[in-house]
Structure 1
């Protein structure tokens, strides 16, 4: 089982001490005393200690203040989540590994958030992530990608939830990594063992980056009615400029989505659902789903419009992700306005309850 390894706070701040060269004592002449090797060594050590006191200690203190407190590794290893394991299929390496549940939840949060996210949104996402994993552990989809690799979940954001490791965070946020990881750890620990349930069972706790202004119903997205996955208005998502992106493709690139050499861009047709999402795209007699079309072109959403020009197709997408369940962007906006994490959960998953996972597993 893979456990997270925390970095000691001050280890990178210590200065390397210069080593005095070995050699015979220096003679000062007949009138002066000889300087022995021991005296040379003591002198060098004293100078090094003085230098460290003047430079090294203030540097370490400054870094500690700037980076925040070191995570409590002992507490982390003794949480209820730490006693559970989730099997994760890692698509890039084609391997399946066992992770402590708290490590899994933290890695998902690290992938989904950036430093400065409100704590209430982190806690809401931690509970949703834990719920997602436990639901998969109890009721995994037979025949799915994870099941085929003897896993509960994958690290593919198109199939499950994405993950970022501690080294990923250190590389992306070098000056904020420890403070950020400590914040994520606190969100996981302070919600330890809590999940979202509906009729005493863990829910399908979907979450995604940002909606086009409203979340989808399960009927529209999954073609089945799930009472707690309803359309939720997301006004902060609607005005987020980063939620809209533009992408341009050639006829050959579009053809690859259909398994063809190229397509006639002017003759492409799409079918749209009532909520704006594209359900199908056709090129001549060949039709693929809107989700498959989006995945083939690496589009962030299946809610898009397009315009052809000069043999190319310019696609404008709205939102990022499945648009089902909890919008993490909207959750952060709600948390910033003072909404608690429990209320955020009930806002996005209406009719659900929060309880200990020991009562359902």
Structure 2
């Protein structure tokens, strides 16, 4: 009888303590989403990070595949940034990749095949699975993937927010020494996508490029007829990020972005020169120029800057937040 009473008391004690055992490891209710900011380089071990799938449209397979979000981030970082880059730059890239997809998961606005949230192409973020990475990296797969994995795991669940909302974390390869205000390249102004200096990009192998067109090819692409003299056009103004804002060619006005798109240039920071029947266009930078420069991020990291300093340089006024509250209604997917 005494043994039975003792057993019942122990069982009752376990029942009373069990809720505390289950709750304590996951943090206190009502914790601020910015709480991670006090230790931005500490690993975030939120269980919610592993509970969300990303529906990815695999273009070559022509089907949608559900990928756990942290595995998805690894595949994006591996595909979008050289594994040889500094670890802190890779961590910064992990934050941009995770933030981008969390924003789309929380606010799906685009109709994609198979109810996908993103594609695995440059339309959104390039994503490669392990089989694809093994094909690209060959015998270096284990070493390179371990580095990518470490960068992602040490930022697990972390995203970038502005005034409590996930940002549009755009990034690109190489700047011309400055990034662009978002409205100077796209239509809308975002307060966190402001032009900042990025001097580290001058070390990028993609910093400068030249492309040559025949005069007829140039005219065809722009839909103009150039005068018989040596002139091409007049640059009317530059953006805050030192790229071409507006240019006039043979009486026709273009934005710098339009010229870049029509001629297939690496950047909208360009200058041109006409010699006989040839027009040579020289560009600085590679990409749209809005948000984080990848080579700039690596340059900052090489100077000893942490990933938190990197992202706050390229995205003004942002905080590093825990993604859980933004995707908590999606955890039932798995």
What is the TM-score of this pair, normalised by structure 1?
0.67
Alignment check: 8 A CA contact 2:76 2:128 kept: yes
Q: CA RMSD in A?
A: 2.9
- Please state how far the C-alpha of 1:291 moved relative to its aligned partner: 2.5
Alignment check: 8 A CA contact 1:108 1:162 kept: yes
Gaps of 5+ in 1: 1-77
Alignment check: 8 A CA contact 2:160 2:320 kept: yes
Q: Which has the higher contact order (CA 8 A, sep 6+)?
A: 2
1:120 paired to 2:85? no
**Partner residue in 2 for 1:52:** none
Larger Rg: 1
Cα distance change on mapping 1:283 and 1:213 into 2, 3 Å: closer
Alignment check: 8 A CA contact 1:79 1:189 kept: no
Cα distance change on mapping 1:93 and 1:319 into 2, 3 Å: farther
1:137 paired to 2:105? yes
Q: Name whichever of 309-318 and 124-133 sits farther off.
A: 309-318
1:314 paired to 2:293? no
**Partner residue in 2 for 1:273:** 238
In the TM superposition, what whole-angstrom CA distance separates every residue of 1:321-349 from its partner, at most 9, and x where no partner exists?
11111111111121122211122222222
Cα distance change on mapping 1:233 and 1:174 into 2, 3 Å: same
- Please state how far the C-alpha of 1:264 moved relative to its aligned partner: 3.6
In the TM superposition, what whole-angstrom CA distance separates every residue of 1:169-200 from its partner, at most 9, and x where no partner exists?
33333232211011111211221111111111
Match of 1:328 among 294, 308, 313: 294
Alignment check: 8 A CA contact 1:257 1:293 kept: no
1:202 paired to 2:166? yes
How many residue pairs match? The answer is 277
- Please state how far the C-alpha of 1:215 moved relative to its aligned partner: 0.9
Alignment check: 8 A CA contact 2:174 2:206 kept: no
**Partner residue in 2 for 1:104:** 72
Could you tell me how far apart the structure 2 residues matched to 1:277 and 1:311 are?
26
Match of 1:179 among 114, 139, 143: 143
Could you tell me how far apart the structure 1 residues matched to 2:264 and 2:56 are?
23
- Please state how far the C-alpha of 1:93 moved relative to its aligned partner: 6.1
* Secondary structure of the structure 2 residue equivalent to 1:242: coil
Could you tell me how far apart the structure 1 residues matched to 2:290 and 2:68 are?
26
**Partner residue in 1 for 2:21:** none
Alignment check: 8 A CA contact 2:50 2:68 kept: yes
Could you tell me how far apart the structure 2 residues matched to 1:300 and 1:90 are?
26
What is the TM-score of this pair, normalised by structure 2?
0.72
**Partner residue in 2 for 1:360:** 326
Alignment check: 8 A CA contact 1:279 1:290 kept: yes
1:87 paired to 2:55? yes
Gaps of 5+ in 2: 1-45, 328-334
Could you tell me how far apart the structure 1 residues matched to 2:127 and 2:295 are?
18
**Partner residue in 1 for 2:209:** 245
* Secondary structure of the structure 2 residue equivalent to 1:316: strand
Alignment check: 8 A CA contact 2:106 2:326 kept: no
Cα distance change on mapping 1:166 and 1:301 into 2, 3 Å: farther
Alignment check: 8 A CA contact 1:106 1:188 kept: yes
Summarize the alignment of residues 201-350 of structure 1 with structure 2, pairs less than 5 Å apart: 201-240=165-204, 242-255=206-219, 257-258=221-222, 264=226, 268-269=232-233, 271-274=236-239, 275-280=241-246, 284=250, 289-350=255-316
In the TM superposition, what whole-angstrom CA distance separates every residue of 1:28-54 from its partner, at most 9, and x where no partner exists?
xxxxxxxxxxxxxxxxxxxxxxxxxxx
